[in-house]
Amino acid sequence: MGWVAAVRMEGPELKEWHVLEGKARFAYEPGLLALREGPLLEAAFRGLSQWPELLMVNATGRDHPRKAGLAVHLGVVLGVPTLGVTRSPLCAEGSLPSNERGSRSPLFYEGQCVAYWVRTKTGVAPLVVHPGWRVEAEEAVRIVLSWTRRYRTPEPLRQARKKARQARSSHLLRVERELG
DNA sequence: GCGACAG
DNA sequence: ATCTTGTCGC
């Protein structure tokens, strides 16, 4: 089972959210995340009453064996500009950026710069920022930096993760109670 | 054959 | 992703 949340934010304000539970199609396999979990993420997004101008996804973009990570898939299917944020690259390689918040360094795959390491917090491990659907790399980096300050993770992803984990936690508690 | 490997 | 242990800073 999987729990997915989509949140819509305006600045620091959490405007709305939609959480849902569903089944993953098969075991996790690097390179097939869109097939495994894409439908769940799509459904979560479509549950929002008002669509945001941009979607931030916890997934890669062109850093993918077929240059089409989940962030790209969702942009195409939903018709919304997307960018991806991950803890590490899938295929791409590149040296780490300097220690200060705001520093970045390119990640290459098959001779192309497909993403950037971005230091969102001084002295803390950097994140990977992926241009997705109709969002340029420079713009993606600027946007991710604008949504971070106190924490390493961009606020929309923090909020969505929190909602999904709350839903999973209450589900597990309910099951536990039913079984005694 | 072994390690790597978005989440 | 999950799990465990330890450290640092407000």
Which protein residue lies nearest to nucleotide C1, measured between its Cα and the C1' atom? A28
Q: Is residue A171 within 8 Å of residue A3, measured between CB atoms? A: yes
pLDDT tens over chain A, length 180 residues? 999 999 999 999 999 999 999 999 899 999 999 999 999 999 999 999 999 999 999 999 999 999 999 999 999 999 999 999 999 999 999 999 999 999 999 999 999 999 999 999 999 999 999 999 999 999 999 999 999 999 999 999 999 999 999 999 998 888 777 776
Interatomic separation, CA of residue A138 and C1' of nucleotide B1, rounded (Å)? 42
Tally: H helices and E strands in chain A:
4, 7
What are A99's two structure tokens? 């220690």
Give the N- to C-terminal CA distance of chain A in Å, as an integer: 21
Question: In this structure, what DSSP letter does residue A79 have?
Answer: T
**CB-contacted nucleotides of strand C (7 Å):** 1
Report CA(A150)–C1'(B7) in Å, whole number.
24
CB A2 within 8 A of CB A44: no
Distance from CA(A28) to C1'(C4), angstroms, rounded? 23
CA atom of A108 to C1′ atom of C5, Å: 35
Strand C footprint at Cβ < 7 Å? A 58, 161
Bases of chain B below 7 A from a protein C-beta are 5-7
- Runs of H (alpha helix) within chain A: 33-46, 70-78, 137-146, 155-179
Provide the 3-class DSSP secondary structure of residue A22: strand
Tokens of A166: 């709350």
Angstrom CA distances, A34 to A27, A54, A57, A148, stand at: 12, 19, 12, 26
Q: Is the dihedral of CA A40, A44, A47, A53 positive or negative?
A: negative
